A = this chain, B = another copy of it.
Amino acid sequence: MTRFALTLEFDGGAFMGLQRQAHGPSVQQAVEEAVLSVTGETVTMHAAGRTDAGVHARAMRVHVDVTKAIAPFRLMEALNARLRLAGFPIAVLASEEKPDDWHARFSCVGRRYLYRIVNRRAPLTLDKGRAWNVKGGPLDALAMHEAAQALIGKHDFTTFRSTQCQSASPVKTLDLLTVRREGGEVLIEAAARSFLHHQVRSMVGCLALVGLGHWRIEQMREALEARERQALGHNAPPEGLYFMQAIYPDEG
């Protein structure tokens, strides 16, 4: 048995989510079926993050265990060929062997997300399904960045947590939350050991309220301290969210 760590890029708009679902296509199902097709083996894919329907990945890390003798590069090439044939917008960017105790989810000590806002009145064309189109005036990215800093550190993030969140505790440590403008876009980066369900989208939704002037900068801290979902201002849509990086101790 060999444990293979794969790096996946995918267009989340084509899936009901990363995890296997009863009611529609998932990244997990697509990859597991591609592995079955290549190796003849029924495997279970484990991932660093369980992204929702519509959420994209530039570098999701997953692992599968395979008995058949196959080199990492051959597995990657064969999976890409199968995924392409099946019409799934998933690409395997890297593939490597890992020790049996390496786990895509449980060994992961850091996750990084990017959220893209295209801030303009006109509808999206080239970026449709790839960003959140925020109309209603220019976002004040500096105010958003300042408001974001109230969330840094170890907090009870109940306000920013989906009611369906399965995490044992609402307490998380947010390491980074930056907001910057690049031309017509406002880019938000978030990093933590782990996130609650909907946490990034909930934080971004409230930051947008600050950026539009509907919330004072201090309301971000007030929302956090309220520790209740009713204090949430807005949940940003999934199509602007990208899983960018999973960090592991053995990879420095």
Q: Which of B11, B56, B83, B120 contacts A93 (CB 8 A)?
A: B120
Main SS class of interface, A? mixed
Residue-by-residue, is A59-96 near B (CB-CB < 8 Å gives 1, otherwise 0)?
A: 00000000000000000110010011000011111000
* Alpha-carbon separation in the docked complex, A123 to B92 (Å): 8
Residues of chain B contacted by A122 (CB below 8 angstroms): 9, 76, 80, 91-93
Q: Does A124 contact B (CB under 8 A)?
A: yes
Q: A34 to nearest B CB, angstroms?
A: 13
B123, A91: Cβ atoms closer than 8 Å = yes
* Binding-face segment, A98-106, A125-133, A230-238: A125-133
Measured CB to CB, the residues of A under 8 A from B are: 9-11, 56, 58, 76-77, 80, 83-84, 89-93, 120-126, 128, 130
Further contacts, 11 of them, CB under 8 A, given A58-B126, A90-B125? A9-B125, A9-B126, A11-B125, A11-B128, A80-B122, A83-B123, A84-B123, A89-B126, A91-B123, A91-B124, A93-B120
